[in-house]
C-alpha cells in the first residue's frame, strides 16, 4: 500500500466525520435546537473504524488512542436510540470484534505493533501534547455518554461542543507539526460546526 493510498483512507474517514456533522447541522438548523440523529452515530462508527485503521498504518499512537473510546460510545448511542439491533447481526458481531482483533494484532504484530508505533515517535513532548488533545476530545463523548445515560436519551449537550472546540484546536496544532493533513482538514471543518452549535444553544437559552 502506497503513502497516497494510506492518506486516502484518512481523507475518506475525515470526509465521513465531516458529513455526519453536516447531517447533524442541517437537522439542528431545521429544528432550531441541537439534534442527535441516528445517522450521525452510524456514520461516526464507520468513520471511526477507518480512522483506527489509518492510525495503525501511519503508526500514530495519538490518533489511535483518540478513536478507541469513541468507537464504543457510538455503539452505545445507537443502543440508546434503539437502533443497534435493527442492524444485521453479522455486521454487529463484526463491529464488536474488530477492536479486539486490532488490539491483539498490535500486541503481537510485527511491522504494525505498539512497540513499533512507540519507536516511530520522534518527540515525546509532541506525542504528549497530541494525547492531551485526544483525551479532551474523547472526554466530550464520556460527558455526552454520562449525560445521555442520565436522561436515558441520546443527546448532544453544550459541554460536548465546548470540549470539541478545545480538543480540536490542540489536535489541529499537533497535526500541523506531524504533517497529518487528513486529520487537520477534518478538525478545521469541525471547529466551524462546533462553534455554530454553541451559538444555537445560547440562542435557545437566552
Segment 14-20 shows an average pLDDT of 86
Q: Give pLDDT tens digits for 104-124.
A: 888 887 777 777 776 766 777
Residue of 1 and 174 predicted with greater confidence: 174
Q: What is the pLDDT of residue 7?
A: 86
Per DSSP, the residues of 17-65 read: HHHHHHHHHHHHHHHTS----HHHHHHHHHHHHHHHHHHHHTT-HHHHH
Q: What is the pLDDT of residue 206?
A: 64
Residues of the chain with pLDDT > 90, as a percent, come to 8
What is the DSSP-derived secondary structure letter of residue 26? H
For residue 14, what are the domain limits? 3-204
What pLDDT is stored for residue 12 in this prediction? 92
Per-residue model confidence (pLDDT) at position 162:
93
Q: Quote the CA–CA distance of 5 and 59 in Å, as a whole number.
A: 15
Q: Report which of residues 1 and 184 the model is more confident about.
A: 184
pLDDT reading at 145 higher than 80: yes
What sign results for the dihedral spanned by CA atoms 68, 150, 25, 23? Answer: positive
Predicted confidence at residue 163, as pLDDT, reads 93
What does the pLDDT read at residue 166? 94
Per-residue pLDDT tens for 58-76? 887 778 877 777 788 888 8
pLDDT greater than 80 at residue 56: yes
Length of the chain counted residue by residue: 206
Q: pTM value?
A: 0.75
Range ranked top by mean pLDDT from 25-34, 46-55, 146-155: 46-55
pLDDT tens, 151-193?
888 788 889 999 999 999 998 898 888 888 888 887 888 888 8
Instruction: Please tell me the total count of domains within the chain.
Output: 1
Residues 6+ apart with CB under 8 A from 62: 127, 130, 131, 133, 134, 171, 174
Amino acid at each position: 500500500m502506497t503513502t497516497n493510498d494510506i492518506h486516502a483512507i484518512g481523507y475518506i474517514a475525515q470526509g465521513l466525520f465531516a458529513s455526519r456533522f453536516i447531517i447533524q447541522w442541517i437537522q439542528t438548523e431545521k429544528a432550531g435546537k441541537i439534534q442527535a440523529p441516528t445517522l450521525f452515530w452510524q456514520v461516526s462508527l464507520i468513520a471511526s473504524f477507518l480512522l483506527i485503521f489509518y492510525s495503525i498504518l501511519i503508526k500514530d499512537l495519538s490518533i489511535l488512542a483518540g478513536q478507541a473510546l469513541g468507537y464504543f460510545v457510538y455503539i452505545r448511542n445507537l443502543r440508546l436510540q434503539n437502533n443497534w439491533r435493527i442492524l444485521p447481526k453479522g455486521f454487529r458481531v463484526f463491529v464488536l470484534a474488530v477492536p479486539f482483533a486490532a488490539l491483539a494484532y498490535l500486541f503481537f504484530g510485527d511491522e504494525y505493533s505498539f512497540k513499533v508505533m512507540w519507536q516511530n515517535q520522534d518527540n515525546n513532548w509532541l506525542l504528549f501534547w497530541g494525547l492531551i488533545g485526544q483525551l479532551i476530545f474523547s472526554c466530550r463523548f464520556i460527558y455526552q455518554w454520562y449525560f445521555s445515560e442520565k436522561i436515558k436519551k441520546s443527546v448532544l449537550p453544550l459541554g460536548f461542543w465546548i470540549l470539541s472546540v478545545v480538543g480540536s484546536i490542540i489536535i489541529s496544532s499537533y497535526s500541523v507539526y506531524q504533517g497529518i493533513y487528513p486529520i487537520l482538514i477534518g478538525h478545521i471543518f469541525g471547529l466551524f460546526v462546533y462553534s455554530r452549535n454553541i451559538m444555537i444553544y445560547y440562542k435557545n437559552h437566552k
